Amino acid sequence: MTTYKTIRMAASDELVEKRSRFIGYVKPVSTQREAVDFINEIKSKHWDATHNVYAYVIREEGISRYSDDNEPQGTAGIPVLDAIRKRDITDCVVVVTRYFGGTLLGAGGLVRAYSAAAKAGIDKAGECVMTLCSVCELRCSYTLYGKIPSLIVRFDGVSDDAVFADDVTVRFHLPCDNLSGFNKALSEESSGKVQAEELNTQFFAQ
């Protein structure tokens, strides 16, 4: 997998349904431990809530979990998990906190409310595509350096750092699929004297 979709940042949003408050909390996570820690954080913050329903999906561990937290089975955790899956996002945890307002919503009402709160939180957090990138380094003359930033951008890359000494060391990242094309263009610009070295690969938001 060279790309996947996740949420951009932690966020929350709130809605009220028949005087019950539903607060949707969302956070990007990369491990089950991070997801559980966030769930416990929200439970601690809202210790007096009627329910703290959650769901999460973790890409690398291939895990998805949910909890109804004593709501009727199938009315809370699954709708929250479905809100994540319908957006095709991963590495995401959602906790929907409910404060009961005194009016029963029924099974259908609960499903709609938990789905809406999860969706509202995800909408507030925003989405981004993570792309597998080559983290690279190159050394070049000051004369050639003037052409490097625009060359990196041309291949959808991002300059991360530059060290100026007798020559210039540039560190940057760009989609893995673009590295060979970048090196070909770099070779042409430097008359075959400079090539970028791939140090490792990482996912970056594009």
Residue at which a domain ends, from 125, 154, 185: 125
Residue at which a domain ends, from 108, 125, 142: 125
For 180-191, how does the pLDDT look when each residue is reduced to its tens digit (9 = 90+)?
999 999 999 999
Question: At 85, which amino acid appears?
Answer: R
Cα–Cα distance list, 95 to 24, 36, 48, 101, 190 (Å): 6, 10, 15, 19, 53
Residue 5 makes CB contacts below 8 A (sequence gap 6+) with: 87, 88, 89, 90, 127, 128, 129, 130
Q: What is the mean pLDDT of residues 41-58?
A: 97
Domain CATH number, residue 109: 3.30.230.30
Is the domain of 61 the same as that of 161?
Answer: no
Per-residue b or e along 125-134, where b marks 16 or more CB atoms closer than 10 Å to that residue's CB: beebebbebb
Q: Are 172 and 156 in contact (CB under 8 A)?
A: no
Percent of the chain residues topping a pLDDT of 90: 95
Number of domains in the chain: 2
Is the domain of 51 the same as that of 149?
Answer: no
Is the domain of 30 the same as that of 110?
Answer: yes
Is the domain of 72 the same as that of 138?
Answer: no
Is the domain of 111 the same as that of 156?
Answer: no
**Mean pLDDT, the chain, integer:** 95
The C-alpha atoms of residue 61 and residue 64 are separated, in whole angstroms, by 9
Q: Are 138 and 186 in contact (CB under 8 A)?
A: yes
Is the domain of 142 the same as that of 112?
Answer: no
Domain CATH number, residue 140: 3.30.70.240
For 120-144, how does the pLDDT look when each residue is reduced to its tens digit (9 = 90+)?
999 999 999 999 999 999 999 999 9
Q: What is the mean pLDDT of residues 16-37?
A: 96
Range of the structural domain that residue 156 is part of: 129-205
**Which pTM was predicted?**
0.85
Is the domain of 65 the same as that of 83?
Answer: yes
Predicted pLDDT at 103: 87
Q: Are 22 and 101 in contact (CB under 8 A)?
A: no
User: Dihedral angle at the C-alpha atoms of 138, 140, 144, 148, nearest 10 degrees?
Assistant: 20
Is the domain of 30 the same as that of 115?
Answer: yes
Is the domain of 117 the same as that of 140?
Answer: no
Residue 37 pLDDT > 70: yes
Q: How confident is the model at residue 17 (pLDDT cuts 50, 70, 90)?
A: very high
Residue at which a domain ends, from 76, 109, 125: 125
Is the domain of 146 the same as that of 190?
Answer: yes
Q: What is the DSSP string of 33-61?
A: HHHHHHHHHHHHHTTTSSEEEEEEEETTT
Residue 102 pLDDT > 90: no
Residue 1 pLDDT > 70: no
